[in-house]
A and B are shown apart, each in its own frame.
Chain A
Amino acid sequence: MKLSDCFKQGKFVITCEVGPSKGIETEKIMEELEPLRPKIDAFNVTDLQSSVLRVGSLAMCRLLREKDFEPIMQLTCRDRNRLGLQSDVLSAAVLGIENLLCLTGDHPKLGDHPAAMPVFDLDSVQLLSAIKGLVDGKDMAGNALEGRAPEFCLGAAVNPGADPLEPQIIKMEKKIEAGAQFFQTQAVYEVDKFASFMEKVGHLKAPVMAGIVLLKSPGMARFMNANVAGIHVPDEIINELAAAPKEKRTEKSLEISARLISELKDLCRGIHIMSLGWERHVPAILEMAGL
């Protein structure tokens, strides 16, 4: 089913992240996605996540489309100016990719090419507006597109754990005004904080999907706290994971993710899972979470 139809029908939507390969061999990734097919409504393909060079989101989304998966193309403002972005958006439409998640993008300094020029010609709000313009048949310069206009289901991101939260919510409102139809959040580990965030955005109609990053080890949690922008794993969760004996750690880790999902699912309209190589565990986690 199309992602836009899932939202229209009020379905509880489950999406999963796919990180393209560092080289050109994509077969393994595609194979790993097969078991997820029955449970996952759409797959987000990251756009050089954490500013690390990989195969592009557009190519990977097309491969997914060819296999009848529903792709969501992530699009960041880090690497392309408004010409490049608009062109890739049109290319996505040509290749049958309808869902776009519009993001600011991590700074290049955080990735494996720290000397790269940070572009950020547009920000996420302006990118959404630009795409809405294309849907209305006009590019950013006001020139008309020839033939039929593209159609998109536009998504955006929000960080419910941000402090202060108010500027995030103001920006979220602007994203909706600019054309965002759904939101996927940064990883959530604190259910209370998320619940209070959802209360504060209760006036907004766009569906919100809570982000879940599968924690593989206490070390990974500490690494993310120190190095991944916008993520904070509280000590209680790190300690809970660290307290499990090594051979039971994976089990514990899946249990923590499943618990988070089951606590979050009644607060929002969907779950977005960032599995980071643990795609094989996703079906089990969803089952444990009652989904």
Chain B
Amino acid sequence: MLFTKDKPLDEVLESLGQEKSIFLLACNGCAEACETGGQEALSAMKTEVEKAGKSVTGTCLVDFLCNKVLVTTRLAREIDKINQADSILALTCGIGVQAVARVVDKVVHPAANTVSLGGLQGLWPADERCQACGDCALDYTGGICPITSCAKGLLNGPCGGAQDGKCEVDPEKDCGWIKIYERLKNIGRLENLKKIRTPRDHSKMLPSAELRETSFYDLEK
């Protein structure tokens, strides 16, 4: 199971920026158990987003956002409402955000940070991975994780080592940063790349005392 914590609301609203219409999506799996997802969190977020003066074009609850079949079939039904929105706000773990970004050509904002905890890392049978860094950057990178898709986990763009779009470490692997660049260009968010990202806070990867006392942590021991 993937343990998630709400991103601070200020941070979520800041990432929505000037966007006026938002589609809300929540996971009903691990995130529901962590109270970052599920119907209750979805309804609460809808209220907050509307309070911030934005319209919500639709909401959708998916049992497991890491399940490819569920994501594609459920989102297909909502496609008109998704298309009306400037972006999607996803109440889910890092895998869930990447899974959605993979199937929809829209900006996907994460509403949670995924925190270190062992166990199953989601069910998405594709390239997306989450290292539970505790400070989700998917918002800025167009839904492709720079920490897991770049061999060096760089935050400010590609190194000079890629050859023909492939990583210097493994010629079979795509350069994560070229993928991020293409994706940002595709969704019209290239300006995201221009902002200097500050170094990671690695202490966010350590399970907090508070988390170690929860039953989730016990279950994963």
Docked CA distance A129–B198 (Å): 9
Selecting from A28-36, A163-171, A245-253, A257-265, the interface stretch reads: A163-171
Determine how close the nearest CB of chain B comes to the CB of A141; give it in whole angstroms. 11
Question: Is residue A235 within 8 Å, beta carbon to beta carbon, of the partner chain?
Answer: no
Selecting from B25-33, B160-168, B209-217, the interface stretch reads: B160-168
A167 near B194 with CB under 8 A, answer: no
Report the count of interface residues on A (CB-CB < 8 A): 37
How many chain B residues sit at the interface, stated as a range, is 20 to 34
Docked CA distance A106–B193 (Å): 22
Q: Which residues of A contact B160 (CB under 8 A)?
A: 104, 157-159, 162, 168, 186, 229-230
Docked CA distance A123–B182 (Å): 21
Selecting from A17-25, A66-74, A172-180, A189-197, the interface stretch reads: A172-180
Q: Which residues of B contact A230 (CB under 8 A)?
A: 159-163, 168
Question: Is residue B34 within 8 Å, beta carbon to beta carbon, of the partner chain?
Answer: no
Contact (A123, B155) CB under 8 Å given A158-B160, A174-B196, A186-B160: yes
Determine how close the nearest CB of chain A comes to the CB of B43; give it in whole angstroms. 39
Determine how close the nearest CB of chain A comes to the CB of B183; give it in whole angstroms. 12
Query: Which residue in B155, B159, B194, B202 is a CB contact (below 8 Å) of A170?
Result: B194
Q: Which residues of B contact A162 (CB under 8 A)?
A: 158, 160, 162
B153, B169, B194 — most chain A CB neighbours (10 Å)? B169
Question: Is residue B39 within 8 Å, beta carbon to beta carbon, of the partner chain?
Answer: no
A126 near B155 with CB under 8 A, answer: yes
Question: Is residue B154 within 8 Å, beta carbon to beta carbon, of the partner chain?
Answer: yes
Q: Which residues of A contact B196 (CB under 8 A)?
A: 125-126, 129, 174, 177-178
Q: Which residues of A contact B152 (CB under 8 A)?
A: 77, 104, 107, 118, 120, 123
A110, A123, A130, A230 — most chain B CB neighbours (10 Å)? A123
Contact (A167, B151) CB under 8 Å given A104-B159, A174-B157, A230-B168: no
A126 near B169 with CB under 8 A, answer: no
A106 near B161 with CB under 8 A, answer: yes
Question: Is residue A122 within 8 Å, beta carbon to beta carbon, of the partner chain?
Answer: yes
Question: Is residue B199 within 8 Å, beta carbon to beta carbon, of the partner chain?
Answer: yes
B155 near A167 with CB under 8 A, answer: no
Q: Is the interface of A mostly helix, strand, loop or mixed?
A: mixed
Q: Which residues of A contact B200 (CB under 8 A)?
A: 121
A126 near B198 with CB under 8 A, answer: yes
Question: Is residue B177 within 8 Å, beta carbon to beta carbon, of the partner chain?
Answer: yes
Determine how close the nearest CB of chain A comes to the CB of B14; give it in whole angstroms. 20
Question: Is residue B15 within 8 Å, beta carbon to beta carbon, of the partner chain?
Answer: no
Q: Which residues of B contact A125 (CB under 8 A)?
A: 156-157, 196-197
When A and B form their complex, which 4 residue pairs have the shortest distance between CB atoms, in order from nearest? A229-B161, A159-B160, A229-B168, A171-B157
Could you give 24 example pairs across A and B, Cβ below 8 Å?
Answer: A104-B152, A106-B161, A109-B169, A118-B151, A123-B152, A124-B156, A125-B196, A125-B197, A129-B196, A157-B160, A158-B160, A159-B160, A162-B162, A163-B165, A164-B182, A167-B157, A167-B177, A167-B193, A168-B160, A170-B157, A170-B193, A171-B157, A174-B157, A230-B159
Chain B contacts to A: CB under 8 angstroms: 151-165, 168-169, 177-178, 181-182, 190, 193-194, 196-200, 202
Given A174-B156, A229-B159, A230-B162; 10 other pairs, CB 8 A cutoff: A118-B152, A125-B197, A157-B160, A163-B164, A166-B181, A166-B190, A171-B158, A174-B194, A230-B159, A232-B163
